[in-house]
Structure 1
């Protein structure tokens, strides 16, 4: 099959499904709407793997299909095009595979929801926007897909719009992403201003010629390529929930669990990583921007890992895990190991989607309970879910044996990132060494909070039959302790907490099993093509490494101790979690009850929400009130239409007093008028 004829079907298939289910869902009915959207996603998924196999093993060359002209104004030229290279081929299988499995999983998870056509239409719309993003041939289409996934995420996070918390979370995600997108738009403008094109093909060859050049602004010479890359990276910070612009991510858990898997596993949050790797020809000549990417990525990895230690909502723990893993991807790209960043994006999609959908299976089996303090001992009741989530935990913690190079998916990709950071730090020093240290520390923290989730959920004493799980300090600490569709009034009143947990239906378990297979084998099968000896042939021209960039080569010659270091810190995290939550069961609750400084700091997410509320939100509200109440109401309206109307009304009321209806009043007024005219005539005649 010809890849050039398959790719348009892959991209536009989900759009057709979204249109049919969204516009005609009520007429088609739930089952047909679900079948159409899921079937088209399955078709896109199969065709994506066909195209990927042609790329990886069939010698397929990069190509660009121009579908239609879009904007042609002077030098500004943008066409609707589809670009296929190694990056887009990888992203096609990542996006369509996870989305297809999420669609199938949602048949069981959303079975009792009355708005299934709308939900499946949103899922397919989201997938189409992401596919448009990853196949973009210029910045305009990239921006279209970028904003499309932002819109679709707003719709999905606020799917249960009757809930105030869901509405607030969707608006928060939308607004925070607009902050990043403002920087992204400025970056695109800067690129066009400097290079007079927004199309990738003619743009990338020009970058080397601009290296070291700048432009004078406000008395300072700004490095041209660095400026563009930093502005573009601000967009990535918002979309990929990096430090400072991360606050929307945990609140996005207000959406249904399949939404969490789709947004946080393989699609929206990885768009920023994909964009940085796509623009490697620019970032390779932007040393300042690369340091910024490395620093922000490392800080994010550490921040999110610490916050994940203290969360009790099963979905929020995994959400912060996503944030932390994205930090790994970014600092990998920042040190120049773009291939390692994409490799971790690829493997992460499998085990993170597995963990999110596994958490959904737990929530479903627990009658929509999300608080891990109300779980325990579930391995007997949810054996398949327990098995696949254990696989996901082993994958995210990077379990493997370095000597024989055998392990789960995360072992290959995460270890490569840590080794690349060490190699870059050893060669150049600076923030790369910081990223290496943080990468090791975050690996230990990742193991601790991941096994903490597994032990609190599946092991220990069962706490789901009563309310003892809520300790004195936190009976109401987690406002979102229940999955939102438990409150959606969908007929769940018969599900009391006293009921025994139960395994999920087969339609939910099949996607989990498929993802578990990916979490086991994705790293082993593709390590050579992504970061090994075959990487040059696989990536071809899709990723650019400057002649001085030898990070991956040096990473493959790491010292012996470095190869074992990630495993050692991960095992330390496992041992710590086992001691606190199994050997000394209840110790974690006692630590939380003491409300120590560190626990309070981590539990409250470094107080970022409170800080933003006290500064940005209040200042914005104050300025809004000033401009509205003073500027708009009192000045503009007061002196303008309202003022004129008030004066006219007052004059009219005073003039109306003359209209008494008595004849002698009118005669008197006429007499006064005549006297006034005579007086004026006499004065004028004398003058």
Structure 2
């Protein structure tokens, strides 16, 4: 069964990718969707059989690599964490495949698109089933490759190419740290197998590591390097800049990447290695700091974005910050619980946004929407409302249980950085509610369209330079999108004068399924993920050591006010948004004009793209041109192949002049040669 769950998406990808011309577009869609569907059904079977039954199962596939004492097997580690990720990855992937049948109907390259989706699914399954660090790294890089292909799917567009390259390069920064962490773990434990690593972890609690003249706590260094990979893949603060640009891909790609798969890979990795991180408390404090900062940072940026997909993308970034706060304070079950619930309501929001874009003939600027849109697409509006309620934490929707649990865990934790994580997540809860309801009001209701005026001149400020590694083409395309109020990202050629219309059933059915998950996933599974049944549910999957009391303290030591604080912040965010955009329209515009510097600071995403452009991109281009034109062109080619060739040509051009064609010239040359030979013979003979 487990082999089928993992390999069916790979088979689907190969069939659709290699035989698309033979089987046709419709068959490619049916093959990929059907095989991923079978994998999704089997995933739910595995979820209940593993989570509520058997413990960890090892499924050997083949010997992968043997070098001396290093033996790496290709095997599946199937435990509760794996089973949860089976459900999340395959369920969302199936719904995205189904949704894409309607959304991508006009695209001529659908077989290639579905092949990429299935390949992405397989790579993520390889990551979550890994039984050792090398196999995890294989899946990790496979996800990076597939995301590059999906983000740059419309490769004819410079903006899509630039976004794909940016995502790939930024993730390589994190992956470099991840690979160093794997090397260090192998040096410390002599193994890359999870069982061997976890068994060796207690003995490494006091071990130091010396490198480059610096001595530090070995596990802290290893865990910080491993977490560096998580920061890149999960778009955490400082390595987050690729995430909003990933919106250049088709909307179903956004749902797949940002809801359940790629961006959650870092969370899965830290949760999987929790027995290692527990013996590196300083590394866990750093995880809390980064997670809390990301939750706050992304929420502030989401307050003022105008592209509907970018608002949801920054929401994803913020919610991932919540998950890392939970991991850092030791509430690993709460982190995975929020990953589980977040997959449903965030995929619902992204696919709902895609339905809105489809209805608006591929318009993405919320300032161009509204006008009673909720009356014209009531089903999409209802689904977006469910996703918004779940995201903001309205009881009894899923986000209420998982997000509140993280805030409570941060409050009861005794880690030094926990208070910072608690404060940041509470503030982010209010900001999340504000920008979520702002999205609803601007998109669906009759609020004035000149909200937060004077924004169009910002686009030139923000995008005149290459941003964080993107080329000028991407910058100008994005500026044009914002300025003219429509984004070319998902434009399949619809005319813009048609009336908004509801999406086809192929796009609506996945929304119904995700809405059910966004409603019931919280209260249905809370008892098992973070309640009294947690230890029996997780078994030996996550760390429940003697020094980790946070799960117990969440049940008994949370004051009533702390318990309702997230709900209070959610209500405040809603009321402020309601007042600024519905009850007193124009308030947001006046506030933005009075605080223009702050407004532009948030609108330009804290100027990280511009900062990275100055610090890294321009120096990298300068260095590249120096090595290319100066080093390679002038020195290597100039003195090497090109220089030798030029010297030969110059010499031959002179020597060829001897060939005059006159016999007396040749006779004279022969006489000189004979005279020289006789002279050499006579002189040589004297000696």
Does the pair score TM above 0.5? yes
Corresponding residue to 2:203 among 198, 202, 209: 209
Contact 2:128 2:136 in 1 (8 A): yes
2:604 equivalent in structure 1: 604
CA distance in 2, matches of 1:529, 1:473: 47
Write the mapping of 1:107-506 to structure 2, written as runs, cut at 5 A. 107-376=101-370, 377-400=372-395, 407-424=396-413, 427-428=414-415, 430-461=416-447, 471=453, 473-474=455-456, 477=459, 479=479, 480-481=481-482, 482-484=486-488, 486-487=490-491, 490-492=492-494, 495-496=495-496, 498-506=497-505
Question: How far is 1:685 from its partner?
Answer: 6.9
Partner-residue secondary structure (3-state), 1:657: helix
Query: What TM-score, normalized to structure 2?
Result: 0.93
Contact 2:251 2:490 in 1 (8 A): no
Deviations 1:309-368 (A, max 9, x none): 111000000000000000110111011111110010001001100000000010001110
CA distance in 1, matches of 2:452, 2:425: 34
Question: How far is 1:290 from its partner?
Answer: 0.7
1:541 equivalent in structure 2: 540
Contact 2:148 2:167 in 1 (8 A): yes
1:661 equivalent in structure 2: 661
Question: How far is 1:219 from its partner?
Answer: 3.1
Does 1:7 find its partner at 2:2? yes
Write the mapping of 1:78-89 to structure 2, written as runs, cut at 5 A. 78-89=72-83
Contact 1:374 1:470 in 2 (8 A): no
Question: How far is 1:676 from its partner?
Answer: 4.5
Question: How far is 1:215 from its partner?
Answer: 2.0
Question: How far is 1:677 from its partner?
Answer: 4.9
Number of residue-to-residue matches in the alignment = 663
Does 1:24 find its partner at 2:19? yes
CA distance in 1, matches of 2:510, 2:615: 44
Question: How far is 1:484 from its partner?
Answer: 4.0
Partner-residue secondary structure (3-state), 1:71: strand
1:571 equivalent in structure 2: 571
Does 1:638 find its partner at 2:624? no
RMSD: 1.8
Contact 1:280 1:545 in 2 (8 A): no
Question: How far is 1:541 from its partner?
Answer: 0.3
**Stretches of structure 2 lacking an aligned partner (at least 5 in a row):** 460-477
Partner-residue secondary structure (3-state), 2:658: coil
Partner-residue secondary structure (3-state), 2:58: strand
1:36 equivalent in structure 2: 31
More moved, 362-371 vs 217-226: 217-226
Question: How far is 1:584 from its partner?
Answer: 2.1
Partner-residue secondary structure (3-state), 1:44: helix
Contact 1:256 1:483 in 2 (8 A): no
Question: How far is 1:670 from its partner?
Answer: 3.7
Contact 2:244 2:313 in 1 (8 A): yes
CA distance in 2, matches of 1:472, 1:210: 57
Partner-residue secondary structure (3-state), 2:75: strand
- The alpha-carbon distance between structure 1 residues 367 and 475, as it changes in their structure 2 partners (threshold 3 A), is farther
Contact 1:473 1:593 in 2 (8 A): no
2:471 equivalent in structure 1: none
Partner-residue secondary structure (3-state), 2:548: coil
CA distance in 1, matches of 2:152, 2:134: 27
CA distance in 2, matches of 1:411, 1:616: 40
Question: How far is 1:641 from its partner?
Answer: 1.8
**Stretches of structure 1 lacking an aligned partner (at least 5 in a row):** 1-5, 401-406
Partner-residue secondary structure (3-state), 2:363: coil
CA distance in 2, matches of 1:610, 1:277: 33
